[in-house]
Structure formats: C-alpha cells, structure tokens
C-alpha cells in the first residue's frame, strides 16, 4: 500500500455503506483468508468499505495477535482493549514505529538541478521549486509518473496537487496542469498576483500569500482573483487551509493570523509569548483544531483555534525550522525539519521532542530496474537530545527544506537534487 494522508478518517465511519450483493455472497471465512494477505494499514482502509467488512476485520486473529504483541512491548500508552478499534490501533502502531522503530532511508536523484519542495498524497509525491519542472513520483516503485514543465521563464514559487490537477504559483500568476488526458496548462492573467511568496489550495480556490502582506483568493475556474484580504504588515511567508474555509497565514514579523474569506479582515491575530523569529512554516490539525508554527529561531508554537490563544511554545532546534507536518487526524505526533538536517518528532500536546533522527553515512546503491532509478539505501539512526548537533558530521544531516508525513513514512526534500523516504518499522 502507498503512503496515505490518514489511516481511515473518522468521517469515513459515517459513509460506510452496505456491501454490494456480490461481496455479501462471500462468507466470513473466505473474507478472513483474503484479508490475511493484507498488512495492517490496508486493513484499516478496508474497514471503511462496508459494515460487513468492518465486522470481519475486527475479529481477525492478525489484529488480535498484533495488539497483544504491542501490549507486551511495554508501552504505557497502550492498553490491551476488550474490543479493537482498528483506526486507533493503527495510529498507535504508527506512533510507536516513528518513535522506536528501525529506520531505513531510500534516496534518489529527483531533479538534475536543485529543488526544495515536496507534496505527498496517496502514494505519490510531487517535487519541484528551484528547477524548471515538477515531477510526480510513485513511492511504491520510485517510478517517475509525470513531468510538468513551466509555461515560461518565470520561477515556480509553490505548488500543490490532487487527483485531477497540479496547481502552481508561477511568477505573478496561477497555472493549472491537468493530470490525465490531454496535458493542458491554464494560466491566469499575467500580474494577477503581485510578488506572491506561497500558496495553498482546496478546490476550487487557491490562497496566495504576498510580499505586501495581503492574501489573495484565486478562483481556479473563473481564473480570476476574487478577493484580497490584508492580513499582515509584512510579507506572508507561509499558509495553511482548513476544511471549514478558514486559512492561517504566518509572516516574517513573527505573527499568525486567522482569516475567513467571508470577511474582509482577519478573524484573529495570534502573537507569540516570546520573541521567536519570523514564521517560516505553519500547519493545521483538523482533528484537534490546533495550529502549529515553526520559526526562523528554531521555535515551534501550538495555537488553540477554538480559544484563539497559544497553548505552548518550545525551542526544538537551534536553527531555522523550515517545515512541520502531521498525519491528518493524528493528534499525537508531528514531524519537523530544518537547516540543521535533523528530523524531529514532536509531541503535539506538550511540544516536547520525542525523538531525533539523522542519516547514517554508509551507502549501498541499487538499481531499480522497473523505474531505472538509482536508489541509495541508508540506515537512519536516533540521536540523544543532549548531543551537540554541530559536532555531528554534516553529510549525515543534509539541510531539510520540506517534509511530508505518511503512515510510518516521512518524505524529505533537501534543497539539493535528492528526495529521501524515511521508513519506520516497528515489528
């Protein structure tokens, strides 16, 4: 199974439906045999297909034995339940793998020139920014699925993608590429977005953060800028969108604002309790209504959007935190990376660094014949929290410019030519 954003979202329970007649004709014993060939996270997805599959999977000996094995590992956070909640069980297994599992890293050259950004969805990762192309990769085979060239000499500043399209902030306009069928490019009018710095979108709208402190809302179907909201007195450096249409923006001045497109001004401005540098990255957890920001001074802050106040602030790195992410609906752990090249897992409730990881300097190179991509295989290793990072060899901790989090996996871009997949296995 490829990397996914979530291990079966809680909302999927509500959409679980009655199985088609052909599926219902399979009795429980046959289904158990079929399901026994799947791993834990494939099973999680199968539980949301229909009620009959959900009932069969909950009774599987595989789940019961896995749960007992996890319980015997001695984690105080795991209690052996009377009835297994498959989603909850998978998320706890995911957390244990991140914090205690063996680490294997696979790296390959994704671009011929330096690039700095990656986005991940459903077993695919899109790479770019700094190069003149975006490339879509399969994380199962490391095969390059598609390549998207920029429409002109303008620079690619930010991008995102979904099942049908690629959306990019290119120079002073938004461009849209189709993912299937005839590969067309739909650019907005030149100059629609003056000095855009960052972009996020949820269909059908993209929000662009600009150097002048405004957030510009772009309608991808009319190809026009539908609204301009002044959110900051300085440049907007990062954005995050919520499913409820709110969006968060961080600025170089160190403040976070919460805005609603239905209003012409921010709903709230969130200020740090200490001087923590400019906001470099921001993400929103829909499951807990918490937002997290990382700064140029190495701090990560947590904000409660229900009360519009800061919950905690902690310096997790001695240098810039470039990127933080969490698995959708996971309220326990998030991952962060930055200029010092250390991958850190942080407790969402307290801000405490739970584990820090770097690459081993030993490399074994293999050729993936299916995709013809040369893959470097390395081991990852955990480092103590009291270790002086500057004393660790730089080649084992290349600068992390972007992170994307999946189930028991993290993808990192390094402001170079390589993309890295960190795999965590806790058996």
Q: pLDDT 10s digit of each residue in the chain, 427 long?
A: 333 344 344 444 444 444 444 445 566 777 777 777 776 667 777 777 777 787 777 766 656 666 655 555 544 444 544 556 667 777 888 899 999 999 999 999 999 999 999 999 988 999 999 988 999 999 988 999 999 988 777 889 999 999 889 999 988 888 888 887 555 666 666 566 778 999 998 888 899 999 999 999 988 778 788 889 999 999 999 999 987 778 999 999 999 999 998 888 899 999 887 767 899 999 999 889 999 999 999 999 999 999 999 999 999 999 999 999 999 879 999 999 999 999 999 999 999 999 999 998 888 777 765 667 889 999 999 999 888 888 898 889 999 999 999 989 999 999 899 999 999 987 6
- The per-residue pLDDT for 15 is 43
Conformation bin of residue 351: beta by default, left when phi > 0, alpha when psi is -120 to 50: left
> What are the CA-CA distances from residue 69 to residues 62, 64, 65, 72, 191 (Å)?
11, 9, 6, 5, 59
Taking alpha carbons only, the member of 353, 295, 347, 341 closest to residue 320 is 295
Beta partners for residue 373, in sequence order: 368
User: Is the backbone peptide bond immediately before 113 cis, with ω within 30 degrees of 0?
Assistant: no
Question: For the whole model, what pTM was predicted?
Answer: 0.83
Q: What angle do CA 154, 160, 162 make, to 5 degrees?
A: 135
Distances (CA, A) of 101 to 90, 355, 403, 426: 15, 11, 19, 4
CB 311 within 8 A of CB 273: no
User: What does the pLDDT read at residue 336?
Assistant: 97
3-state secondary structure of 41: helix
Q: What are phi and psi of 388, to 5 degrees?
A: -75, 110
C-alpha torsion sign, points 60, 66, 72, 77:
negative
**Cα(187)–Cα(171) distance, rounded to whole angstroms?**
11
Identify the three-state secondary structure at position 155: coil
CA 313 – CA 317 distance, rounded (Å) = 12
**Spatial CA neighbour of 254 closest among 284, 283, 211, 295:** 295
The whole-angstrom separation of Cα 169 and Cα 24 is 47
SS3 273: coil
CB 382 within 8 A of CB 78: no
pLDDT for 406 equals: 92
* Local structure of residue 363 (DSSP, 8 states): -
Helix (H) or strand (E) holding 58: helix 51-58
Q: What is the DSSP letter of 80?
A: -
The set of residues, in sequence order, having a beta carbon less than 8 Å from that of 140 and lying 6+ positions away, is 2, 123
In this prediction, residue 76 carries a pLDDT of 44
CA distance linking residue 239 with residue 234, whole number of Å: 14
Contact call for residues 191 and 225 (beta carbons, < 8 A)? no
């Amino acid at each position: 199974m490829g990397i996914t954003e979530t291990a079966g979202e809680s909302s999927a329970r509500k959409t679980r439906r009655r199985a088609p007649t052909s599926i219902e004709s399979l009795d429980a014993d046959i289904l158990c045999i079929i399901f026994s060939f799947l791993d834990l996270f494939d099973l999680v997805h199968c539980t949301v297909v229909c009620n009959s599959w959900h009932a069969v999977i909950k009774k599987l000996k595989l789940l019961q034995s896995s749960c007992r094995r996890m319980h015997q590992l001695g984690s105080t956070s795991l209690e052996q339940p009377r009835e297994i909640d498959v989603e909850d069980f998978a998320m706890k297994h995911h957390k244990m793998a991140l914090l205690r599992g063996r680490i294997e890293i696979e790296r390959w050259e994704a671009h011929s020139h330096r690039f700095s950004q990656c986005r991940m969805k459903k077993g695919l990762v899109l790479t770019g920014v700094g190069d003149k192309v975006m490339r879509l990769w399969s994380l199962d085979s490391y095969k390059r699925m598609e390549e998207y060239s920029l429409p002109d000499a303008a620079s690619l500043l930010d991008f995102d993608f979904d099942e049908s399209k690629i959306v990019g902030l290119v120079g002073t306009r938004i461009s849209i590429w189709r993912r299937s069928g005839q590969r067309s490019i739909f650019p907005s009018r030149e100059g629609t977005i003056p000095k855009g710095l960052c972009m996020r979108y949820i269909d059908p709208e993209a929000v662009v953060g600009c150097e002048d402190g405004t957030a510009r809302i772009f309608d991808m179907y009319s190809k026009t800028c539908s609204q301009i909201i002044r959110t900051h007195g300085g440049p907007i450096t990062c954005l995050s969108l919520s499913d409820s249409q709110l969006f968060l923006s961080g600025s170089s001045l160190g403040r976070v604002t919460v805005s609603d497109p239905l209003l012409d001004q921010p709903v709230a401005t969130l200020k740090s309790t200490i001087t923590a540098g400019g906001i470099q990255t921001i993400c929103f957890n829909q499951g807990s209504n918490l937002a997290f920001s990382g700064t140029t001074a190495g701090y990560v802050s947590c904000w409660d959007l229900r009360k519009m106040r800061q919950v905690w602030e902690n310096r997790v790195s001695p240098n810039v935190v470039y990127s933080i992410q969490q698995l959708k609906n996971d309220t326990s752990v998030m991952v962060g990376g930055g200029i010092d090249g250390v991958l850190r897992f942080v407790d969402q409730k307290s801000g405490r660094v739970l584990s820090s990881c770097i690459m081993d300097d030993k490399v074994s190179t293999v050729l993936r014949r299916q995709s013809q991509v040369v893959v470097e295989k390395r081991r990852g290793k955990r480092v103590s929290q009291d270790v002086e990072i500057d004393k660790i060899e730089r080649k084992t901790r290349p600068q992390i410019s972007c992170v994307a989090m999946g189930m028991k996996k993290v993808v990192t871009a390094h402001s170079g030519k390589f993309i890295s997949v960190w795999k965590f296995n806790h058996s």
